[in-house]
Amino acid sequence: MWCARRKLRTFPLMGLRHAERIGEVAMKAKTILEYGSGGSTLWLAQIAPDASILSIESEKNWYDRVRAAYNAIATGGIAVGHVSQYYVPALSEWVDAAAVHAPFGMILIDGVHETRDPCLRGAFDLLNPGGTVFLHDAEEPDYQAGIDAFHEAGGLPCAYLGHDRTFGPARLWIGTKPC
């Protein structure tokens, strides 16, 4: 199962190792912020049925498709987490839109590439103490400034979960806000 802009499935477009690590944290989190909706939104709602999930998306047609799929799952007798999905077309407003609902126990940054660095720069302030942030496809050099900003704000030494060959050279960066 996978998620792409033309097809919507109930599993994120990432390798199993990355999904397992994110899933371990998501199942314990009470509040989850997701930048970029899709299969990961539907998956998070199913694996974290007690969580409140905020998903921010910039593409209106995709937003509508994910919303319809979530509603179908939620009314189909499956226990799912509560998803509040926001359509925020201005990429520069993603962090501000999330800040209204902070803090979060987990943040997944897997949206539009132009938003990833600003979302990561704002992640530390949006996390609960002890919260975890994940940056998927972290191999891009453009994201290093956001990673550095997370460290400078006080984020604990972070880890990379290496390449997952399922979807090419993708890396998963993991950061934690100290308690």
pLDDT for the residue 4: 42
Per DSSP, 168 falls in state S
pLDDT for the residue 5: 44
Q: Say what the pTM is.
A: 0.89
Domain ranges of the chain: 16-176
pLDDT for the residue 74: 77
Per DSSP, 139 falls in state T
What CATH homologous superfamily does 16-176 map to? Vaccinia Virus protein VP39 (3.40.50.150)
pLDDT for the residue 114: 86
**pLDDT of the chain along its 179 residues, tens only?**
334 444 566 777 787 888 999 999 999 999 999 999 988 999 999 899 889 999 999 888 889 989 888 888 877 766 677 888 888 888 889 899 999 999 999 999 998 888 889 999 999 999 999 999 999 888 888 888 999 999 999 998 677 776 655 555 678 899 999 99
pLDDT for the residue 125: 96
pLDDT for the residue 75: 73
- Residue 167's alpha-carbon distances to 6, 44, 48, 134, in angstroms, are 17, 20, 24, 17
pLDDT for the residue 113: 83
Angle, helices 16-26 vs 39-47, to 10°: value is: 50
Q: Which helix (H) or strand (E) holds 73?
A: helix 60-74
pLDDT for the residue 7: 57
User: How many helices (H) and strands (E) would you count in the chain?
Assistant: 6, 7
